[in-house]
Amino acid sequence: MRVLYLFLSIVSYVFRCNALETGLRLLEKQLNVRGIQSYRFKTDQLDLRYWKGGNGPVIVFLHGFGVDALLTWRHEMLHFSKTHTVIAPDLLWFGESTSNLKPDLSSQRLAIETLLRYLEIDSLVLVGQSYGGFVALDLAASRKFKVEKMVIANCPGTTFNTSTLENVCDSFGVASIQELFVFEKPEPLQRLMNLSTFKDVQIPATVLNQLHALYFSAHHEQWRNLLRSLPEEQKRYPDTAVFLGIHLLVVWGEHDELFPLSEGVKFASDTGAEFRVLKGCGHMSQMDNPKAFCKSLISFIF
């Protein structure tokens, strides 16, 4: 994440333009050169943007709350497209995806299920980061597809202790988790980025405004409902036995301030998963240290 902000600042200085839009075009071009393209999938209920490329066994990447597939999974898509078919959708109400469905976890799962059926996929590896981890677990629990392996990163899943979020809200001076993630002006985005990464980085005001305008200025009511409904939705799977038979890896940033390391230890223990801690990383470990994160996936998936 720190590298991304530095990159955007340099682009802004050199080109004297919207750093984020220019940077995203460069990232998209990098993917396109490797045969990874952006597609749209539309139904009466869904309008999904997703990235797809490569050949071979399928890996589906599900991003976390706030950003989109491109910013979250660029590094992983570039690497795994050499040996796999990679698919990375923008979840509903994030990036360029939207829907008229009720904003909750079930709708997110339905969207991914519908996309996978459209792409004629029945067997896959699932990788979910944070909120995307909840979606991945819900999809795996439905047993509608054969999940060969699953990687859950910085997501406490079915053992989620919601009381830990109260401590997070207290330390960041907000009344609720909704206030932490949903805001009308760009300034609170700096606080959220400090929560998400290991080292605090002062984001240039121009980049902060651009990030907010592109990623955090729309779908506020849907986001609030996604956050409000999540704890209750997780109670649908009180028994982690629902995940038996799925080879599971749990990856955690050593310095995660949103979901502390103890949450990861508990979830891995209860599900019998392999557990790996990424040193010097925060909540968005795949952005703090993309090489270390990708290395963990490589050693598990192959």
pLDDT digits (tens, 9 = 90+) for 40-65: 999 999 999 999 999 999 999 999 99
Q: Cβ distance 28 to 49 under 8 Å? A: no
What is the number of other CB atoms lying within 10 angstroms of the CB of residue 187?
A: 12
Residue 214 neighbours by CB under 8 Å, 6+ apart = 20, 21
Phi then psi for residue 225, to 5 deg, are -70, -35
d(CA 77, CA 63): 12
* 3-class secondary structure, 152: strand
* pLDDT at residue 238 in the model: 67
Q: How far apart are the first and last CA of the chain?
A: 26
Residue 119 scores a pLDDT above 90 = yes
Average pLDDT over residues 209-219: 94
62: left (phi over 0), alpha (psi -120 to 50) or beta: beta
Among the listed residues 26, 25, 53, the one whose alpha carbon sits nearest the alpha carbon of residue 39: 53
Higher pLDDT, 232 or 45: 45
Residue 156 neighbours by CB under 8 Å, 6+ apart = 259, 263, 264, 266, 267
* pLDDT at residue 4 in the model: 54
Residue 98 scores a pLDDT above 50 = yes
pLDDT band at residue 163 under the 50/70/90 scheme = confident
Among the listed residues 272, 275, 294, the one whose alpha carbon sits nearest the alpha carbon of residue 285: 294
Average pLDDT over residues 14-32: 79
39-301: which CATH topology? Rossmann fold (3.40.50)
Average pLDDT over residues 222-247: 85
Residue 8 scores a pLDDT above 70 = no
pLDDT band at residue 13 under the 50/70/90 scheme = very low
Average pLDDT over residues 198-207: 85
Average pLDDT over residues 253-272: 93
* pLDDT at residue 20 in the model: 80
Phi then psi for residue 285, to 5 deg, are -65, -30
What is this structure's pTM? 0.93
pLDDT band at residue 35 under the 50/70/90 scheme = very high
Amino acid at 46: L
Each residue's pLDDT tens digit, 81-97? 999 999 999 999 999 99
Angle at 200 between CA 230 and CA 185, to 5 degrees: 60
pLDDT band at residue 9 under the 50/70/90 scheme = very low
Residue 66 scores a pLDDT above 60 = yes
Phi then psi for residue 282, to 5 deg, are -105, -145
d(CA 25, CA 31): 10
pLDDT band at residue 17 under the 50/70/90 scheme = low
Which range has the worst mean pLDDT, 74-88, 89-103, 119-133, 163-177?
A: 163-177
List the domain boundaries for the chain.
39-301
274-278/247-253 β-pairing: parallel
